[in-house]
Amino acid sequence: MPAVERVFGERPRVLDGSRAVLLGDLKLQLEAGERELWLIERNGPLEHRLGYVPVRESIEDALRDARERLLG
């Protein structure tokens, strides 16, 4: 959670036992043994997967890649 706050500049809400966080309508979720960081757009009960970023070195690097992709 601190890494999400450092990269995105806002405090996320933790979901699913810390495997996912919510930033407004964006859900960031670790999957595949924490090797994939999925970007999921939420609209009420509906979710739309925008894609994922591979987690290679560190979660913070993956979060930076995700932020770049979203702002891209």
DSSP of 37-65: EEEEEEETTEEEEEEEEE--S-HHHHHHH
DSSP class of residue 3 equals H
Per-residue pLDDT band for 1 (boundaries 50, 70, 90) equals: confident
CA angle 59, 60, 62 (to 5 degrees): 65
The pLDDT assigned to 36 comes to 97
What does the pLDDT read at residue 16?
67
pLDDT digits (tens, 9 = 90+) for 7-56: 999 999 998 677 899 999 999 999 988 899 999 999 988 999 999 999 99
Q: Tens digits of per-residue pLDDT, 53-68?
A: 999 989 999 999 999 9
pTM of the model: 0.89
